[in-house]
Amino acid sequence: MSSSEFNGYCSYTKAIEHLGDRWSLLIVRELGTFGPQGFNDLVAGLPGRISRSVLADRLRRLETLGVVSRADPADRHPAYRLTGVGHGLMGPLGALRTWAEAWLPEDPDMWERDPDVVLGWLAQRVDPDRVPSRPVVLELRLRHRLDRRYWLVLERGGNAYGCLRDPLLDEGRYVYVEASMPALLALARGRCDWSETLRDGSVTAAGDPDLVSQLGEWFQSAAVPDTHPQAAHADPSPQSADGGTATGPATRSFTLT
């Protein structure tokens, strides 16, 4: 191995050693996409569940690396923000996201481990201009775990949001959905349409017939598969890791309760 090859290998090793845990790059992505945030905002905004002690540890490590700084260190509750070093990670994160969407299969354990993340994906697929004027609740069950329920609340003109507890809205506005895990993950990621899964039986729906008949209309159409994954090699610098522009923070499109 030549000296240059060895140095490159060491660089990768150092990057993975410092940033290769589950949370560090998610924190960078969160700050790079949504701008400076306080500690409690990060606890609430990060996908999945992060303990306060783990978040505090990761923020300290990122500060030590010069990736994150506090807007006002003297403030008792300072906002955390990316430094120039941190912003340098947004391009690689965007490329990593593109690669993962093109090549990584869905994780079948996602619903068990992080149901709020999948609910967030489903919420992002909702077309708020096409849902009924009165709120509708989708009660979701997986066929292999019918004892567990999750809820997605849809409102016209507003952001859809997921719930891990029953929102207790008008029972007549509930649509009861049962689905196989692969089908629900595919719907959440925009890889198939509701009408398709309802037709082939991988998803069933019950409730008010008028609402059930409209179910497929409330979501954006499935994305056309990208047949050229090499696009991931394009320069991602003008975009954030979440597809927004790097000139300003993006806006959250869903809420979890």
Please state, in angstroms and rounded to a whole number, the distance separating the CA atoms of residues 56 and 36: 16
Q: Read off the CATH number of the domain in which 19 is found.
A: 1.10.10.10
Higher-confidence residue of 19 and 254: namely: 19
Domain final residue pick, 40, 73, 104: 104
The crossing angle, in degrees rounded to 10, of helices 115-125 and 181-188 is: 50
**Nearest residue to 119 (alpha-carbon basis) of 139, 135, 102, 105:** 139
Domain annotation covers residue 179: yes
Which pLDDT score is estimated for 7?
54
Domain boundary among 104, 132, 164: 104
90 and 123, same domain (yes or no): no
The predicted-structure confidence for 26-63, as pLDDT tens digits, reads as follows: 999 999 999 999 999 999 989 878 999 999 999 999 99
pLDDT at 109: 74
Q: Over the stretch 106-122, which tens digit does the pLDDT of each residue have?
A: 676 777 778 888 899 99
For the record, the structure tokens of 106 come out as: 């869905």
Q: Specify whether 120 is located in the same domain as 212.
A: yes
Dihedral of alpha carbons 242, 126, 206, 201, sign: negative
| Contact present, 223 and 191 (Cβ < 8 Å) | yes
pLDDT of residue 115: 87
Q: By the 8 A CB rule, do 185 and 105 touch? A: no
Establish if 58 belongs to a structural domain.
Answer: yes
Is-above-0.85 flag for pTM?
no
Q: What is the C-alpha R_g of the chain? A: 21
Residue 245: inside a domain? no
Q: What residue type is 177 in one-letter code?
A: V
Q: Which residues contact 126 (CB under 8 A, 6 or more apart)?
A: 152, 154, 160, 218, 219, 220
Is 87 inside a domain boundary? yes
136 in a domain, yes or no? yes
Domain check: are 82 and 168 in the same one?
no
**Residue at 148 is within a domain:** yes
In terms of phi and psi (left: phi > 0; alpha: psi -120 to 50; beta: otherwise), the region of 168 is: left
Count of structural domains, the chain: 2
Q: pLDDT digit string (tens) for 179-207?
A: 988 888 889 988 889 999 999 999 999 99
Backbone angles phi and psi of 117, in degrees to 5: -65, -45
DSSP string, 120-184: HHHHHHB-TTTS-SS-EEEEEEETTEEEEEEEEEE-TTS--EEESS-----GGGEEEEEE-HHHH
In a shared domain, residues 48 and 14: yes
Res. 169: pLDDT tops 90? yes
In a domain, 140, yes or no: yes
State whether 114 and 98 are in the same domain.
Answer: no
Q: Are residues 133 and 68 in the same domain?
A: no
* Per-residue model confidence as pLDDT tens digits over 207-255: 999 999 999 999 998 765 443 434 333 333 334 444 444 444 454 444 4
- 86 CB contacts (<8 Å, ≥6 apart)? 28, 31, 32, 62, 66, 67, 68
Same domain, 100 and 130: no
Q: Both 92 and 118 in a single domain? A: no
Give the tens place of pLDDT for each residue, 65-85. Answer: 999 998 776 666 779 999 999
* DSSP at 206: E
Task: Judge if 124 and 200 occupy the same domain.
Answer: yes
Full domain range(s) for residue 42: 3-104
Residue 203 and residue 240 in contact, taking contact as beta carbons nearer than 8 Å? no
